[in-house]
A and B are shown apart, each in its own frame.
Chain A
C-alpha cells in the first residue's frame, strides 16, 4: 500500500516540477504513436472499407488474417522489425535501427490490424440504405467511401482510439528497435521499464500513471473532435 501512495506522490511531483525525463519521454511516446496511428488510419481505413464493400476471392482470408493480427505480441513485431532494420537486414542501409522512425514503423504494424478489423466491422454493419442512397445520388467512388466513413464515424473513432492506446502503451517494439536511448528513443514505457529495472518502483508506477493520463487526454480529444456535429 505504501508503494502505491508513494507512487501517487511521485506522480504529482513529476507533474508539478515538469520532470525533464518524464516530459521528454512522454512527449516522444505521444508523437511516435500519433504518427504511427495516423499512418495506420490512412492505409487501414480504405482497406477496411474495401473489405466491407467489395467482394473479391481472397476477401475472407484477408479479413481473418487481420483479425489474427490484432493478437500479435509486441515483442514479435519488435523482433521482426529488428530483423529488417539491422545492419545486414534488407533495410539496413537506411540506418533506421535505434531511431524513433523504427519504433514508428513497428507501431504502425501494431495498429494496422486493429484499424482494419474494427473499421471493417463498422462499415459492414452500416444500414444498406447508405450505399443505395449514395449510389443513387450519383456519388463517385471517393465520395461514397468518405460517406461510409462518416456514417460509421463512431466505429471508426473506436478503431483509432483503440489503436492509439495500444501503441502508446506498448513496450516490446520500443525496447527492441528503439534501444531506450535517453533523449533519442526513450519512450514513457521504456523509461518505466528502466526505472523498475533499477528498483525504483515508485517512480516506475508514477510514470505509468502519467502515461495513463496522457492516454486519457488523447482519447477524450478524439471523442471530442468526433462529436463536433452531434
Chain B
C-alpha cells in the first residue's frame, strides 16, 4: 500500500492546567485499520481520541489526520442523546447529510436492529437505561459509516451478549477506520481483526 497513513502521531503531548494528561510517542494508522487503544484509567486514551476527533486544540507535537473533520465521528464514553425519540437521534447524522426522511429512517432502523435495540425506536430517550442509551448512540454513529470512527469505551455499560452484538456491528463497517479506547483488551469476534496499542501511562499525576 502506497497510500499515506490516515493518522500520523509523533511525540504528542496534551497539557491542561499545567498537567500532561496525554503523552503518545508514535502511532501510525492506515486507512481501514482497526485499532484498540488499551490503557488504564487516566492514561490519556480518551484524550487521544478527542485529539483525533479535533476537539482538543492545545496539543503539542505532530498529529496529522488526513480526513476532514466532517468524516470523523466520535462517540463519548458517556454519550449524549438529544431530546426526542430514539429514531430521531439515530436519524440525526443521516438527516444532516441531507438524506431524505424515508432513507434516513430505513438506515436508522437497520442499525438499531444490528445493535439489538430496534424495539426502542419510538421511545423517548429519557426512558432508556444506560446500556440502551449506549447502544442507541452507537447505532447513531455507525449508521453514518464514517471514514474514521472513534469510540470511547463503547462496551462500558453493556453485558456480554450486548458487547458481542456491538462488536459484530462494528465488523460490518468494512470501509471505516476504527479506533476504540478500552480499559482491557476486547473480546475477539468473527470478522473483526483488531490490532492492539497499549497506551503506557506517561501522564503526570
Contact = CB atoms under 8 A, between A and B. Distances in A.
A138 B80 contact: no
A133 B76 CA distance: 8
- On chain A, which size bracket covers the interface? 10 to 19
B70 A132 contact: no
Contacts, number: 52
A135 B96 CA distance: 10
A38 to B, nearest CB: 22
A140 B79 CA distance: 20
B74 interface: yes
B83 A137 contact: no
Nearest to A129: B80
Contacts of A65: none
B92 A136 contact: no
Nearest to A136: B74
A140 B96 contact: yes
Contact of B76 (A132, A140, A143, A230): A132
Contacts of B96: 137-140, 143
Given A129-B76, A133-B76, A138 B83 contact: no
A2 interface: no
A127 B80 contact: yes
A73 to B, nearest CB: 37
Given A138-B96, A138-B97, A133 B79 contact: yes
Contacts of A138: 70, 73, 93, 96-97, 144
Interface stretch (A145-153, A171-179, A202-210, A212-220): A145-153
Interface string A134-170: 0111111001000100110100000000000000000
B135 interface: no
Interface of A: 127, 129-130, 132-133, 135-140, 143, 147, 150-151, 153, 229-230
Interface of B: 53, 55, 69-70, 72-76, 79-80, 82-85, 92-93, 95-97, 124, 126, 140-141, 144
19 contacts: A127-B80, A129-B76, A129-B80, A133-B80, A135-B69, A136-B53, A137-B92, A137-B93, A137-B96, A138-B93, A139-B93, A143-B95, A143-B96, A150-B82, A150-B84, A151-B82, A153-B83, A229-B85, A230-B126
